[in-house]
Structure 1
Amino acid sequence: MKWRPVQQVCLSVCWKFYEHLHFISFFCHLKPVIKVFFLLSVGKKIKNMDNVIAKSKSCRVDCNNVDRKLRQILDLTEDEAHFHMKQSAFLYQLGVQTMSKTFHCLLMRLTVEFFKSPSVNMQHSSAYKIDNSNYVHYVIFSRNVLALSVTINSTTINSEEPNSMVFHVLTDKQNFYSMKHWFARHSYREVTIHILNFDELKSNHFSNMGLGELSMPEEFRISSHTTTQPSPLQMNTKYLSVFGHSHFLLPDVFKNLKKVILLDDDVVVQKDISFLWNLNMGGKVIAATEFCEVKLGQLRSYLGATGYDNNSCAWMSGINKIDLEKWRELDITGVYQSLVRKLKQKNDAQWRAAALPVNLLAFHGHIYTLDNTLIQQGLGHDYGVSEETVQNVAALHYNGNMKPWLDLAIPKYKKYWKSYLTRDERYMEECNVNP
């Protein structure tokens, strides 16, 4: 590169100029005889300076080298920005998926207290309700006792006939005893709450299904942009919620029930939804809200090319009514098993990703469409939902990463969830749980 010669020339010029300034100042104070002596050397110095200036003018800066250097700096800056973006995304996901110390403390305290003190056996006194079709049966899959309690509390408070409600909660062995103790300590308008250990059910009755641990409702991030919004920063992002693999055991877990209402544990109910129990579904298996921003034809790479209507909308979990008799008649679980075998998952990530095509294909043509005004979706990711809409709908679904019990939650929606949170709980205070 030619940067070094240019720098040397510039330094030479500056130094020569500096020398001449000192020389002139010194020359003015000399006697006339001595001045003559110095004047003889002035011409030589001026000539040398002219040579230096001419040399500097002959050196040209190579613009290609400057361009290359600037591009290197730009590439290094982009790499650093990309690294920080990836690190930020990783930490965000870690914050979303990891149980905080306070929640873990609450879970441990409840579990320990279950074995230390004799809990009130709520299920024994109301065991006759568990399989009785004269009651309204709700099913919730959950690992989060606070989220579960808010869903049950909000549904109960806003029900006109809470005494007719039975909640069946499917959880894993890690949370089973903490949930039993929590609901033994807290009553919700005297509704019946039936806690089931999924791991025990699986080992005793469904070991041939090949299911792993309890799978919660799965959420898939769908991103798209229109022609009016071509920028990646303006992409429209939604979360599509569907059943987890464990949901396909419902007809076998509840063999004596003909129908159930299924709730996700990130749902807050604001009005009475018991009308769903007597809803005529016209021979369909599931009642669900549609998600028409995603058509099945857009998911061809996941679903294959045949066996469905390309213009059909996807559907959402959150609040669903399930006709278990129709499910058994159509052998939806068998269809599910066949689809799972075709997909041939090799790891846990592929297993979870298979929930989307399995749900959309297994229930294709068997969905009864609920009114979209029943439930407001997207409160876990969409900042644009109006206050009026949130207040007027029957239920709120916090689908998305920003769940209401996390610090990452959207503040303006969080208050609706917190209003149904249990207060004055000793273990929450001791563990500093304040979502």
Structure 2
Amino acid sequence: MKFYISTKGIKRLTISSSDAGKGLPETSKSTTALSRRIPSRTLLPVALVLGIVLPFLFVRIAFLVLESTTACYSTLDCIGWRFFSGADTSLKLREELSRALLEANKAGNNINEERIGSFNELVKEMTSKRQDVRAFAFKTKAMLLQMEHKVQSARQRESIYWHLASHGVPKSLHCLCLKLAEEYAVNSLARSRLPPPEYVTRLADSSFLHLVLLTDNVLAASVVVSSTIQNSANPEKLVFHIVTDKKTYTPMHAWFATNPVKSAVVEVKGLHQYDWSQEANVEVKEMLEIHRLIWKQYYNNLKGEDFEYDGAHTRYLEPLSPSSLSLLNHLRVYIPELFPDLNKIVFLDDDIVVQHDISSLWELDLNRKVVGAVFNSWCGDDCCPGNKYSNYLNFSHPYISSHFDHDRCAWLYGMNIFDIEAWRRTNMTATYHQWLKLNLESGLALWSPGVLPPSLLAFEGHVHPIDPSWHVAGLGYQYPEVHQETLKDAAVIHFSGPAKPWLEIGLPEVRRLWNKHVNFSNKFIRKCRIMG
């Protein structure tokens, strides 16, 4: 062995031996040769790669082994040639899950699985008991069925509560009637004659436009009158005939006596002020009794049904509203008897707002028909959602199904022009009573409770269609679908449905159209805290 050391410093050390390979085994020689062929710089990258790959391989193998206990049919399936791909495993898992879901679907709703209330409970149940995919499918279906039942029950209760809320009289409106009745008693101005003596002759003058309201709602009547006058081109040609019941007569009279309208004439008359014959009184009582029996039978039938929420079942509850039994509502079929001196009138419901001049309505030619009415409303020709004959009449009865088309659009009540002279010629009131008696003989099964169903039958063939822009209805339903442009162009908008604009459940989107005609500066309105 020889050492060579440089004189300039130990910068290089060379060791050489001529006998280095002597006496060593053959394997040592090959190892030495291999170490000479593999540079030391290559070992570091190899070590780094192995340090990264080996943990990944360990995790992958562990995952596949664990997965094989539930998803794979054997461990070899998971660790075989699919080592870096779980595609087949996922496919088999999907197939097994699909089979389990189909089996659960075929089982129907009678599942004996314990109902699970939340997703966390489902996860806990599946992980703690290590159940298979079939159990997962059945437990998931049981949980979804329970949740669906709760949602339907909540929606049904919401609908019923909403329906009940539409029946009540707000405290503010009750207060308004009491304040006005008190004013009528203590203030001579509130008892002044309506209309003033100099305008009495207009009440029967056919050259004026006569508008009729049958209502016991003072605030609603004030909005109808105010909106009509504000949008009229010739308000001095308007004559309003307001008919109310005995209990509302004094507050109604006091309101219009202390809040006189400009130019137009307003007459307020109570039912107790009419002198009808004994025969007419008997007919009215019979009419109300039959309507009461129809209402009672409908209520009993509906109470016995366990109907599910379908998004439109609130319509089933609407015929049970108090308006279905209201005397003032049903007296519209006695308009010729209420106004014997008039030959033509425009009828307005108390839940409407007039947005444009309606004087041209008076000039429409009805082609010798009795009533002019809108059929198709806002959504186009032959489009009348919720307003077809099938929504009012019972087409399971052979007499109805053989005489009427269930898909036919019904005409709209609420803004109509009546040719009373033609009404008297055709004797529509007598026809109306004939249908009432036929319904009574048929077991009260021909139609649902309400004012419109018997009117559809009595006025059959005597209705003249008018342009839909005259009357847009349905704003009192929970989700009105009327476009803003249609609302703006409508001469009359009608809050038909439970959500009247004077109720708290009134829809804010359309309620503003009604509120702008309420006189919020009136002292009685302020005292009773009637707010928009």
TM-score normalised according to structure 1 size: 0.72
> Which residue number in structure 2 is paired with residue 222 of structure 1?
none
> Which residue number in structure 2 is paired with residue 282 of structure 1?
367
Question: Which of these residues, 347, 354, 368, is aligned with residue 262 of structure 1?
Answer: 347
**Is structure 2 residue 217 aligned with structure 1 residue 144?**
yes
Which amino acid in structure 1 is aligned with residue 502 of structure 2? W
Name the structure where strand makes up a greater proportion of residues: 1
**Is structure 2 residue 413 aligned with structure 1 residue 413?**
no
**How far did 1:346 drift?**
12
Q: Using the alignment, how far apart are the partners of 2:445 and 2:312 within structure 1?
A: 28
Query: Would you say how many aligned residue pairs link Structure 1 and Structure 2?
Result: 362
**Is structure 2 residue 282 aligned with structure 1 residue 208?**
yes
Q: Using the alignment, how far apart are the partners of 1:98 and 1:235 within structure 2?
A: 21
Deviations 1:392-424 (A, max 9, x none): 222211112222222222212122211111131
Q: Using the alignment, how far apart are the partners of 1:380 and 1:312 within structure 2?
A: 23
Q: Using the alignment, how far apart are the partners of 2:235 and 2:506 within structure 1?
A: 30
> Which residue number in structure 1 is paired with residue 498 of structure 2?
401
**How far did 1:96 drift?**
1.2
> Which residue number in structure 2 is paired with residue 111 of structure 1?
181
Aligned ranges 1:299-378 → 2 under 5 Å: 299=393, 300-301=395-396, 304-308=400-404, 312-344=408-440, 353=449, 355-378=451-474
RMSD, aligned CA: 3.8
> Which residue number in structure 2 is paired with residue 188 of structure 1?
261
Question: Which of these residues, 122, 140, 153, is aligned with residue 194 of structure 2?
Answer: 122
Q: Using the alignment, how far apart are the partners of 2:429 and 2:281 within structure 1?
A: 15
Name stretches of at least 5 consecutive residues in structure 2 with no aligned partner.
1-128, 292-308, 377-381
> Structure 1 residues 321 and 282 mapped into 2: Cα distance closer, same or farther (>3 Å)?
same
> Which residue number in structure 1 is paired with residue 71 of structure 2?
none
Larger relative contact order (Cα-Cα within 8 Å, sequence gap ≥ 6): 1
Identity between Structure 1 and Structure 2 (%): 28
Which amino acid in structure 1 is aligned with residue 271 of structure 2? F
Deviations 1:142-186 (A, max 9, x none): 121111111111111111211121111121122111110000111
> Which residue number in structure 2 is paired with residue 171 of structure 1?
244
Q: Given that residues 157 and 189 in structure 1 are in contact (C-alpha distance below 8 angstroms), is that contact kept between their aligned partners in structure 2? A: no
Deviations 1:82-138 (A, max 9, x none): 554443333212221101111111111111211121122232422222122222110
Q: Using the alignment, how far apart are the partners of 1:62 and 1:202 within structure 2?
A: 83
Q: Given that residues 439 and 445 in structure 2 are in contact (C-alpha distance below 8 angstroms), is that contact kept between their aligned partners in structure 1? A: no
Aligned ranges 1:231-250 → 2 under 5 Å: 232-233=310-311, 244-250=329-335
> Structure 1 residues 64 and 387 mapped into 2: Cα distance closer, same or farther (>3 Å)?
closer
Q: Using the alignment, how far apart are the partners of 1:121 and 1:134 within structure 2?
A: 23
> Structure 1 residues 143 and 384 mapped into 2: Cα distance closer, same or farther (>3 Å)?
same
Aligned ranges 1:58-73 → 2 under 5 Å: none
Q: Given that residues 249 and 269 in structure 2 are in contact (C-alpha distance below 8 angstroms), is that contact kept between their aligned partners in structure 1? A: yes
**Is structure 2 residue 173 aligned with structure 1 residue 100?**
no
Q: Using the alignment, how far apart are the partners of 1:375 and 1:130 within structure 2?
A: 26
Q: Using the alignment, how far apart are the partners of 1:93 and 1:297 within structure 2?
A: 22
Please tell me whether Structure 1 or Structure 2 has the larger radius of gyration of its CA atoms: 2
Q: Using the alignment, how far apart are the partners of 2:130 and 2:227 within structure 1?
A: 77
> Which residue number in structure 1 is paired with residue 519 of structure 2?
422
Aligned ranges 1:7-22 → 2 under 5 Å: none
Deviations 1:310-339 (A, max 9, x none): 664310012110011111111100000111
